[in-house]
Amino acid sequence: MRPWQIACLGLAASAFSAAPAVAELRRDLRVLTAPSSARGHTFVAELGNAPYPVGPAAVDHRGAPFWHGVDAASGQRFRRLGENRYYLEAAVYSDARVLFHASRGFDPAKPFRVVLFLHGHGSEIEATVARHLDLPGQLDRSGANAVLVAPQLARDAQESAPGKFVEPGRAAAFFAEAEGVLRAVLGGDEAAWRRAPIVVAAYSGGYRTAAQILKHGDLDRRIEGLIMLDAFFADAGLYAGWLARHRQRAFLYALHTRSSVEETTALKTQLIERNIAYATRDDGGPLAGIRLIEVETPHGDVARLGPPAEPMGALLRRLQP
């Protein structure tokens, strides 16, 4: 193991020691793309505070038991979400990996932000987030001084469960651990990492994890905005309540298709009831306030094509340094 890897893992372990519940830290770090003049730095690490795995007594976002039983053939815990959605623990709920990417030319001595990306259904972070959606490339081409953090949620499944992120304070513990790893790999002052603003971005089925982070992730003081990419399918009241409390300093930029029009309409109703203004068109200006924009793009292409094209990169470009 290289010296920087050893240092990185030591910091990760110390960050994890403050977690609200005990979990095993998997000691591994794998570089996908080394930093160069053309690309930023992409790597994967397994974190103890990642959304998965969860323990035998875990609960879901409603407080109900997470596990639905033990599979007789394999001896594994399972969840049954419908006739064709029977998921075993090892295949779907055991992956502690987190994808990290520091944008090209990233400088921790300058102001920077952390982008938390929550993927949708049927996703695997390397294949989906890094390659298909090319979020590392979107960050590089944006010119933003930013770091991407994308935890693996339920792997390659039609499932939106947030895993450990339903636990109060767990998301904050996850960030403390992740930033310990990032600081060891990328450098920078510990205080700068702790105060860096966070943009929470959710695509499709990532909506439920985003909602749980807002509900009790203990990150409100750092979240500067939400980017929702066709990702309103439930929890309109929770999102509206959070915006009512934080809209003076946090933005919401949401693209939606007909797939999520019902819950987006419910959110609009909740905002109107709270006398909160929102726009339905994009004026191209700085990200502030609330924008709920309908697009004709197919649901599966929104995170790549927007509009705007390459929406994560395009929107980060509009944030102040």
Number of neighbouring beta carbons within 10 Å of residue 17: 13
Strand partners, 256: 294
Query: In whole angstroms, how far apart are CA 54 and each of 2, 12, 82, 98, 136?
Result: 30, 19, 21, 15, 28
Residue 321: per-residue pLDDT? 76
Say what the pLDDT of residue 268 is: 98
Per-residue pLDDT, averaged over 176-194, amounts to: 97
pLDDT at 8 over 90: no
**How wide is the angle at C-alpha 142 spanned by C-alphas 138 and 143, nearest 5°?**
130
Rounded CA gap, 194 and 303, in Å?
28
User: For 210-246, what is each residue's pLDDT tens digit?
Assistant: 999 999 999 999 999 999 999 999 999 999 999 999 9
d(CA 236, CA 255): 15
What is 3-55+96-317's CATH number?
Answer: 3.40.50.1820
- Between these two residues, 18 and 66, which has the higher pLDDT value? 66
Contacts of 195 (CB under 8 A, 6+ apart): 222
**For 100-113, what is the mean pLDDT?**
98
pLDDT at 253 over 60: yes
Query: How confident is the model at residue 288, as a pLDDT?
Result: 95
Domain ranges within the chain, ordered by starting residue: 3-55+96-317
State the pLDDT at residue 28. 76
| pLDDT-derived band at 5, boundaries 50, 70, 90 | very low
Q: CA-to-CA distance for 107 and 85, rounded, in angstroms?
A: 44
